[in-house]
Chain A
Amino acid sequence: MLERSWPAEGATRVPYWVYQDEEIYREEQAKIFRGDTWSYLCLEAELPEPKSFITTFVGDMPVVVTRDPKGALHAWENRCAHRGALVCMQPRGAAERFTCIYHNWTYDHAGNLTSVAFRRGIAGKGGMPADARPESQAPKQLRVESVHGLVFGTLSKDVSSLEAYIGPEILPRMKRVLVKPLKVLGAYTQVLPNNWKLYMDNVKDTYHASLLHLFFTRFRINRLTQKGGVFVSPDGAHHCTYTEMVEDRGDAYEKDGMRSAGSQSFSLENPEVLDQVDELGDGVAIQILSLFPGFVLHQIRNSLAARQVVPKGIDRTELHWTLFGFADDDEAMTRRRLLQANLVGPAGYISMEDGAATGFVQRGIAGSPERASVIEMGGATIGSGDSRITETAVRGLWKAWRHHMQL
């Protein structure tokens, strides 16, 4: 039996069993994803009209998100009260009502069971007893709130409002990006061969970005020597890091012989994929923001996207990317965003390596559940600062995780 006690060093160690243990995975589903947290569901722009719907996930749990005929948003578990089948099979669309194909049980936009086929039988025969209560097993309904066009849901009755959950450190950094109505440019899924938390570790790791991603460093898109900073919420759960557009002309990477500095002969023939317009007017080149447990909002130059982290087992994670622009983008801005789409996603000049690196960790730790990651850059503190040569946001993730898991 695995000893599930945290290493004595505390915040600076993360034991490898957290990425490997089936029981931990099951507990996370209950205590985190179905617990006192808010999960990203979709963009409001994906539910443009009354009666439209989209299917998504909260952890393992399949969820339907709808806009009812009056325009209000709802989210409910995509599970029929009767036998547990998926009620809604289509990924998105519009519907008057939702009918389970198995036995025709029907739900309204809020997920209320509105009819049970032949509930009273036919001609006095068959049907359910008068005191049957099939509604007792109805799909769970989520609280739904949205912030600047992003829709979140929670099963918790106790967790605070969405804006209070995100908190005053991080909320303004979301607002800074989501300044106008959004327009979806498209979506895809990247399947990662690793535990979901390795991806969140990676997103919150401001130390890796310019060391792993040569593309960042060689073209001075994001170097640790460039001006920037990191914000961490006091509970550690959420983070935001940014880099300013001002070009770094230093040679710290070259002097230290970093692989990511690359050879001087390597340059782009057509650097148009990097051309940024300062559309938000604050000179920020890159901002990566994460919300516990599994949401990422990115602004990489003029590429904007929501990334939803969907766990699919201890060593498999789906990353659902939705790239967007603003509803009033002109043709030139749309073209710019589509060219910069080359930076992100499974074929992204920058993003492709994150899938590789996190998979390498999952494979590397196979024989050492009792050993631990060393997360000591920047000491043992968890908090905001102006240096990104720190693992403060990673330590924050584990502070929040341990709080929810009571470990």
Chain B
Amino acid sequence: MKSGTSPDFELQLAVEQLHARYAHALDAGRLEEWPEFFTEEGRYRIATAENEERGLPLPVLYAEGRAMLRDRVASLRHANIYEPQRYRHLASSFLVQRVDDRVVSSTSSFVVIRVMQDGATMVFASGRYLDRIVVADMKYEERVVVCDSRRFDTLLAIPL
């Protein structure tokens, strides 16, 4: 039994902190911070459980590197039309595993509740985050969002 100050315990806390900061940034509408949670080459992909189980590669949203993530934010800010809305992320059940000296992997569950400007509230998405995190700077090298459902209501503007 390792002591409470073991490196794994600290790593667990650090990963949970990263996930929490990510969720709060999106839920507070601070989209410009979103790319900064990723490494320069970091990948972000929203997939569905159905496509993953069928071995099909189609993403709902896919970005390779921070530049593409910033493009997504710029488009949401300046190009795309969607009704004002907010998310509330609830993340839980964090499994953290060290891959090597450089990287840890993390699996966690999430629910995203979407609140429209008139107050209409719905469970918009649920699923798993499958992450590879670079330990040195605590950034996502890869974040795959596997949605439990293949169905998306109206549109998916703000990232999950």
Interface residues of A (CB under 8 A from B): 184-193, 212, 214-215, 218, 262-263, 266, 268-270, 272-273, 318, 323, 334, 338-339, 341-342, 345-347, 349, 352-353, 355-357, 359
Contact = CB atoms under 8 A, between A and B. Distances in A.
B154 A214 contact: no
Interface of B: 46, 48, 50-51, 54, 56-65, 67-68, 70-72, 74-75, 78-83, 150-157
B79 A190 contact: no
A269 B152 CA distance: 28
A318 B150 CA distance: 11
Given A214-B80, A341-B59, A187 B150 contact: yes
Contact of B154 (A339, A342, A359): A359
B68 A273 contact: yes
Q: Which 4 A/B pairs are nearest by Cβ-Cβ distance? A: A186-B58, A346-B152, A186-B56, A352-B155
Nearest to A184: B56
A239 B133 CA distance: 48
B139 to A, nearest CB: 18
Contact of B71 (A270, A347, A353): A270
12 contacts: A189-B151, A190-B152, A214-B78, A263-B78, A269-B71, A272-B64, A342-B62, A345-B152, A346-B155, A349-B79, A352-B156, A356-B154
B78 A191 contact: no
A346 B155 CA distance: 4
Contacts of B46: 347
A10 B156 CA distance: 38
Contacts of B150: 187-189
Contacts of B78: 214, 262-263, 266
B70 A189 contact: no
A137 B84 CA distance: 50
Contact of A187 (B51, B67, B72, B75): B51
A390 B34 CA distance: 41
Nearest to B155: A352
Contact of A191 (B57, B79, B151): B151
Contacts of B79: 214-215, 218, 262, 266, 349
B154 A193 contact: yes
B43 to A, nearest CB: 11
B126 to A, nearest CB: 15
B154 A191 contact: yes
Contacts of A359: 154
Contact of A323 (B48, B58, B64): B58
B152 A188 contact: yes
B58 A347 contact: no
A149 B82 CA distance: 35
Contacts of A214: 78-81
Nearest to A268: B71
B58 A341 contact: yes
Given A268-B71, A269-B67, A341-B62, A347 B57 contact: no
B157 A347 contact: yes
Contacts of A273: 68, 71
A186 B75 contact: no
A355 B83 CA distance: 11
B154 A188 contact: no
A346 B62 contact: no
Contacts of B62: 338-339, 341-342
Nearest to B65: A270
Given A215-B80, A266-B74, A186 B57 contact: yes
A266 B72 CA distance: 12
